[in-house]
Amino acid sequence: MIDLLVQYFLGLSVFGKVAVVLNISLFIIAGFLFGKVVPSGSDELNKRRSRKLRLMNVLLLSIYLFDWVWNYVLHDYGYREFLKQVSQTGLVFLVAYLLIQFGHTWTIKKYGKERTIDGNKSKTRTYQSEMGFIIISLITIALSLLLIINIWQVTSWLQATGVIGGILVILFGTKEAWAHDAVSGLIMLHQGQIAPGVVCRIPSMDILAVIKRMSLTETTFHHLIQKHSIIVANSKLRAVPIEILNKTDANFWNDYVEFNIGYDTPSTQVEEFIQAVWQQACTAEKQLDPEKTPRLVLVNPGDHANQWRMNYRVESVYRIVQARFAINRAAFDLQAEHGLSLATPITHQSVN
């Protein structure tokens, strides 16, 4: 069996030998290639790209395996020219896929922007990197089509009513499914306000999350509390109001909480209470700095209670929710110790 395989391999043309060796080599190093040489920034995406490459390798190698079984083991037909054309076509698709993946990684490294996302530094996509990727993709697709036409000698494909014309008609007919998202993604990347590392609040979608990844068609968020991923089409994002909570290069966040405290509590007592709350909250949450004293403001002297606002700074915008939880818990625990109540006072009573 091994001897037959060796004889078959030695009988292949130079192209056939190169194709077999190349596919076996790429199958072996696919994980290293997408994990170290051209990583995408996402382990899951790297694994998907490796699986796609290996699937293409297996399909191309199966062509030679079928030819070996059919034309050398079962029959004696010899090498077929049709096999060579099919193999060349598959190799064109394989090289085109690699060029697009390498090109995208290169544009991100060349024109991407380095940002810190939840403590991790990474290169993120920009308008320039995505436009470069589109140009590289279009050139690669055009060259691939020309090579395939040359391999199969089907110049009729170049006619308006041929295959290429049909592809263009299909792209035009399906533009509603992809064009809006792609254009929206380019516009948002060009504006630069919505980018990986930015924390956003989208009230209409009940989203409070950090942007982890942006592509031409969709944006992936990472929820600040539940830590799950949220994927939203770019056209949907441009149709709703988005609150941008931080700048791409600023990691801290200014926030506040409000307490309703009765009129019988003097301001000095409230200040002491707030200082105690701050110290206890800093102990519970590492992203609150005890050296940065919060600012206390009387916002609204209402009918039932004074509304006090505690302004403070969170050192990491990704912990704004946890910081607020820590402050609320400290305030609840310390209210009795400082002789005040956070419950809204009852200023009326029923008369029978």
Question: Using CA atoms, how far apart are residues 191 and 237, in angstroms rounded to an integer?
Answer: 14
Using alpha carbons, select from 88, 83, 121, 77 the residue that is nearest to residue 19: 88
Domains of the chain with bracketed CATH: 2-173 (no CATH), 185-244 (2.30.30), 253-334 (3.30.70.100)
Per-residue pLDDT of 172-207, as tens digits, reads: 555 555 566 667 777 777 777 788 878 888 999 989
Number of residues that this document lists for the chain: 352
Q: How high is the pLDDT of residue 337? A: 92
Q: How high is the pLDDT of residue 324? A: 93
Query: Which percentage of the chain shows pLDDT scores above 70?
Result: 82
Using alpha carbons, select from 57, 60, 70, 72 the residue that is nearest to residue 9: 72
Question: Using CA atoms, how far apart are residues 108 and 99, in angstroms rounded to an integer?
Answer: 14
Confidence of residue 329 (pLDDT cuts 50, 70, 90): very high
Q: Region 113-121: what's the mean pLDDT?
A: 68
Strand 199-202 to strand 253-261: parallel, antiparallel, or no bridges (unpaired)?
unpaired
How does 142-168 read in b/e, with b if 16+ C-beta sit within 10 Å? eebbebbbebeeeeebeeeeeebeeee
Encoded tokens for 135 = 């140009």
Q: How high is the pLDDT of residue 258? A: 93
Q: Are 270 and 340 in contact (CB under 8 A)?
A: yes
Per-residue pLDDT of 67-88, as tens digits, reads: 777 766 666 655 566 777 888 8
Alpha-helical segments (H) within 174-256: 175-191, 234-237
Q: How high is the pLDDT of residue 68? A: 76
Per-residue pLDDT of 121-173, as tens digits, reads: 777 777 778 778 888 888 888 888 888 888 887 766 555 555 556 566 565 55
Question: Using CA atoms, how far apart are residues 64 and 20, in angstroms rounded to an integer?
Answer: 8
What is the pTM (predicted TM-score) of this model? 0.59
Q: Region 17-36: what's the mean pLDDT?
A: 89
Confidence of residue 249 (pLDDT cuts 50, 70, 90): low
Return the minimum-mean-pLDDT range out of 39-48, 151-160, 161-170, 274-283.
Answer: 161-170
Confidence of residue 272 (pLDDT cuts 50, 70, 90): very high
* pLDDT higher than threshold 80 for residue 233: yes
Question: Using CA atoms, how far apart are residues 24 and 21, in angstroms rounded to an integer?
Answer: 5
Question: Using CA atoms, how far apart are residues 220 and 227, in angstroms rounded to an integer?
Answer: 12
- The CA angle 204-210-215, to the nearest 5 degrees, is 90
For 78, left (φ over 0), alpha (ψ -120 to 50), or beta? left
